[in-house]
Structure 1
Amino acid sequence: MIELKTDGELAAMRTAGQVVAAVLAAVEQAAAVGVRLLDLDEVARGVLAGRGAKSSFLHYLPAFAPTPFPAVICASVNDAVVHGIPDNTRLADGDLVSIDFGANIDGWHGDAAVSFVVGEPRSADLALIATARRALDAAIATMLPGERLGDIAHAVGAIGRAAGYGIPADFGGHGIGRAMHEAPAVPNEGTPGRGLRLRAGMVLAIEPMFHAGGRDDYRMAGNGWALHTLDGSRAAHVEHTVAITDNGPRVLTLP
């Protein structure tokens, strides 16, 4: 069942979204050559505590995972697409980093992700990240009452494919609200004009994921969580939590 949120519930989700934005900004600012991924997780925990919020990710156990997630951020580096577990790995010059984060305040969740480069960037990495962001913006622009879920999916996929990037078929966006993952699933490719009709009050997390090498296939890390491109090419992942309203899409995870 898809729950339509009231204006008051959207305001509560916006509060959670502001915490998400603050954490992502703090983590990106802290990320530098030589910094451990675990250090970035500690930065996120500090902001959470300061804002009186809870992690949406810590101890989360979806059906595909063998163990609960042990951190508050997903930290995916270079060929890791999503769900990277922070560890003692130190960031190196030129690393492409994707940070995914969710926060929960008073039972309402927000979820967003950013990708960035530490140190001296490769032009190809900057183009990959910029394309993912452009796909996210294009998808958000379609989120109007009366449009279809396929319009969102098509907006993401068309931009990724035009750039020659791969797209992991089994992972994408999702509904969000009282739970971090709610119906419906939001794929990153689809047919415009098809699928569930969008209604005011729906809230969706939209998250383009692109593989630079052009292949869609991936492998699962031994920990059962992190997804890696099969060809070892780099990946980018960006995300916002967005409400569909009669006045147009409202991004709840902006600063």
Structure 2
Amino acid sequence: MALSSNSIIHFTSTVDALKGILQDNFKIKYCAETIFFELEKEIKYAAPMVSFCDIPLSQIKDHIGKYGAYGIGLTKEWAQRQRLNPVMYVQAGSFLAKSIQESYRNIAKVKNVEWDKISSDQRNWLNILRYVKNYEADLSRGGEVVKNYRFSDEREWRYTPSYEECNPMAINPVAYQTEEQKKRINKKLSNLRLEFEPNDIKYIIIERESEISEFVDILKKSKGNKYSYNDVERLMTRIITSEQIKTDL
């Protein structure tokens, strides 16, 4: 059995979020990240991104439980065209983690560094940092903490916009805590989209069978704008439910 899939899947916890993606592509939003390069020391930041997992449907059950029952699967060819990349997993305390940490310190060592005016070398290192994730650490979701969660099992792929598209590339998460702060910061990205075409879609994942007709209507209503009649007919056959994945796969 293959360890990875021919598609990458983005999961969300709400039906409205999936509807928005189907009608208006992926909106780019800042996401708060914590990385442990040493066992007891961490670096925190928030960066604009969209995340996907590279997991076969037969192994996706646990992921649904943590990240939501709604999702969209897109082809690897699409991911490559859009310049997505798998994240680099590092183990806290490793030699590689120490090297990345020291490089980050060199970026940030300038007192009162202005992150929207950094040099090209600083931008390159900051972009590398945006693709780093711990191999294993605590996972916080919905107010619950999963101890020693193995993030590498997600085989995450990530899209992060370039410096020219989105500046600053990363921000202090202290300024990204309240809903008001998040709304104000993400408003700056309101025109950015990670786009896809109907032929790029391999799966549309919804929670239950009773929602299928609603999503077919969404595709039909968008027909003149994005989805042709043939697209709708084809995508109807690619709708699967989280219930099916949990019981049949």
Same fold, TM-score > 0.5, yes or no: no
Which range, TM-score by smaller chain? under 0.3
Give TM-score, length-normalised by structure 1: 0.27
Larger relative helix fraction: 2
Give TM-score, length-normalised by structure 2: 0.27
Choose between structure 1 and 2 for higher RCO, CA contacts under 8 A separated by at least 6 residues.
Answer: 2
